[in-house]
Structure 1
Amino acid sequence: MTHRQRAGRPAAGLTLALTLALTGLAGVTGPQALAAAPPAAAADPCTARTGPYQRELEAHLGRKVDGVQSPGDCAAVREFQKANGLTPADGYPDIATYRTMLVVQARPNPNKAGKCPVRNHRVTCIDMDRQLLWVQRGSKVVFAPVPIRSGRDDQETRPGWHEIYWRNKDHVSTLYGTPMPYAQFFDGGQAVHGAYGDLFAYGGSAGCVNMYPSDAARLWDLLTEGDAVYVWGTKPGTDG
């Protein structure tokens, strides 16, 4: 399966004036120009097959929930991917699209269930059930939810209260030799940090909390040593 990443929004289409110029109709105005302009190209057909998160995306997008991809389902998923900067935007309901859906659903109130303790100081909330991270001060969200990858089976991220005790912007793992950009360590070698490549691969991390590098950079600018971190839940696919 093609690796999916977040990307910027596509550039806007040609304006009518530019279209007329390119087609040699720049001197024609009024209804004549509109009549002479070439018709807009039809959208490419959406042909992605049924995906592993078909039902979840169907429910979220208000489609008939039958677990079977239809052309309408495919087009709706593709529009969702485009709106949220996922590439390729091909309509296939894979794990990256599903995890983005969870972020979208959480944005209005990520702590609606009250599982992250509310304190007067900053708390970085790590929800392993939904694989989300956000930061709140009191009941105010100061860093909106983003997708993460926590520890895989037998290398689970440790739950409970922690605090950031060391930070290294350009850290490289001493165990695996892999880059850990914007690493913020919170418990016994486990850190929140950026991860290159497919954020949702390998069944989880080796215990750290992985993020898109761009999200990790923004979090780096917000937090500091001594900040509180609270981890709870169970990563899907692990024993907890």
Structure 2
Amino acid sequence: MRGVGLRSAVGVVLAAAVVSGCRAQAVDRDGGRPPVQVTRTAAPSQPAPDRTGGADDKAGEPSARPSARPARVLWSRGDDGRDVREIQARLRQVAWLFEGPTGTYDATTEEAVKGFQGKRGLPRTGSMDTVTWQRLLGMTREPGRWELYLMGGQEADAPDARCMTGRVLCISKESRTLRWMIDGRTLTTVPVRFGSEYTPTREGVFEVYWKSRHHVSTLYDSPMPYAMFFSGGQAVHYSADFAARGYAGASHGCVNVRDEAAISDLFGQVRNGDKVVVHW
């Protein structure tokens, strides 16, 4: 990469006793948290997006003028890593990206950068150069772990060691994926979504203690189809909200699946007593 890195129960309970509830909740562009202190530069609170896409500059601030000498490119298409996640998270704050960070500087990211640059009178290169980066820093705040790692999907990472024996729902918070594994062999992989920062999905080793194909939350009176409960009221289940809005929302602690056909098939294979591993 060009440029320097920024910073680098189990509990078996009776079905009748379960109080469940994982209704999807909206997450605003600030990730549902108070602003985080910016260590590198003071930043204003997030501006509201204007009608032409992207957030407006601060009132009265003149548009930047491109310098005579081209600015040094820090990141561009093809780069990946934590720094690219931060770029994507900050672009999301100002409404130039809507899906969560993937860590890969792809065509979508390039187009978002072009839009951000053009709105501010900068050359529409699509690459993140020093001038564009400083402008983006000045309009956004430091993204937290939620914004960097829990709002977007990516390829499944290597399975946790605890997933390598037996029948396991192996769930990675880092890659936002669920692997259905038997004796170390992956049979199915699906994208998943978790609870928000304030209603987190529990981590650890659990087991499926109850399955409910047509479940409805007793807390929120909302559907939780193909629910497979593993910890209190937390379950793996299909989420129509996830299917419709992607990573722009979150559950109240459940593991949401947006592929209904896939979880329907998975529901038929998983048995009570199968292991569930939720890990980073």
| Alignment map for 1:90-169 (pairs within 5 Å) | 99=152, 102=154, 105-106=155-156, 110-111=157-158, 114-144=159-189, 146-169=190-213
Provide closer, same or farther for how the CA distance between residues 126 and 62 of structure 1 changes in structure 2, counting only shifts above 3 A.
Answer: same
Moved more, 61-70 or 171-180: 61-70
Provide closer, same or farther for how the CA distance between residues 56 and 128 of structure 1 changes in structure 2, counting only shifts above 3 A.
Answer: closer
Give the partner amino acid of 1:173.
S
Kindly state the Cα deviation for residue 62 of structure 1 after the two structures are TM-superposed. Answer: 11
Specify the alignment match of 1:228 in structure 2. 275
Kindly state the Cα deviation for residue 199 of structure 1 after the two structures are TM-superposed. Answer: 5.0
| Alignment map for 1:1-80 (pairs within 5 Å) | 50-52=96-98, 59-60=105-106, 67-68=113-114
Partners in 2 of 1:206 and 1:53 — Cα distance? 20
SS at match of 1:148: strand
Kindly state the Cα deviation for residue 214 of structure 1 after the two structures are TM-superposed. Answer: 2.5
Kindly state the Cα deviation for residue 221 of structure 1 after the two structures are TM-superposed. Answer: 1.6
SS at match of 2:267: helix
Q: Spell out, residue by residue over 1:12-56, the C-alpha distance to the aligned partner (whole angstroms, 9 max, x if none).
A: xxxxxxxxxxxxxxxxxxxxxxxxxxxxxxxxxxxxx95356985
**Corresponding pairs, count:** 153
| Alignment map for 1:142-221 (pairs within 5 Å) | 142-144=187-189, 146-197=190-241, 198-200=244-246, 203-212=249-258, 213-221=260-268
Partners in 2 of 1:176 and 1:55 — Cα distance? 29
Which structure has the bigger radius of gyration? 1
Specify the alignment match of 2:138 in structure 1. none
Partners in 1 of 2:218 and 2:114 — Cα distance? 45
CA RMSD of superposed structures (Å): 3.5
Specify the alignment match of 2:43 in structure 1. none
SS at match of 1:162: strand
Unmatched 5+ stretches in structure 1: 1-48, 74-97, 234-240
Give the partner amino acid of 2:279.
W
Kindly state the Cα deviation for residue 65 of structure 1 after the two structures are TM-superposed. Answer: 9.6
Kindly state the Cα deviation for residue 66 of structure 1 after the two structures are TM-superposed. Answer: 8.9
Give the partner amino acid of 1:170.
H
Partners in 1 of 2:104 and 2:187 — Cα distance? 31
Provide closer, same or farther for how the CA distance between residues 121 and 199 of structure 1 changes in structure 2, counting only shifts above 3 A.
Answer: farther
Kindly state the Cα deviation for residue 119 of structure 1 after the two structures are TM-superposed. Answer: 3.2
Specify the alignment match of 1:85 in structure 2. none
Partners in 2 of 1:184 and 1:169 — Cα distance? 8
Partners in 2 of 1:173 and 1:66 — Cα distance? 38
Unmatched 5+ stretches in structure 2: 1-94, 119-123, 127-150
TM-score by length of 2: 0.46
Kindly state the Cα deviation for residue 67 of structure 1 after the two structures are TM-superposed. Answer: 3.4
SS at match of 1:217: helix
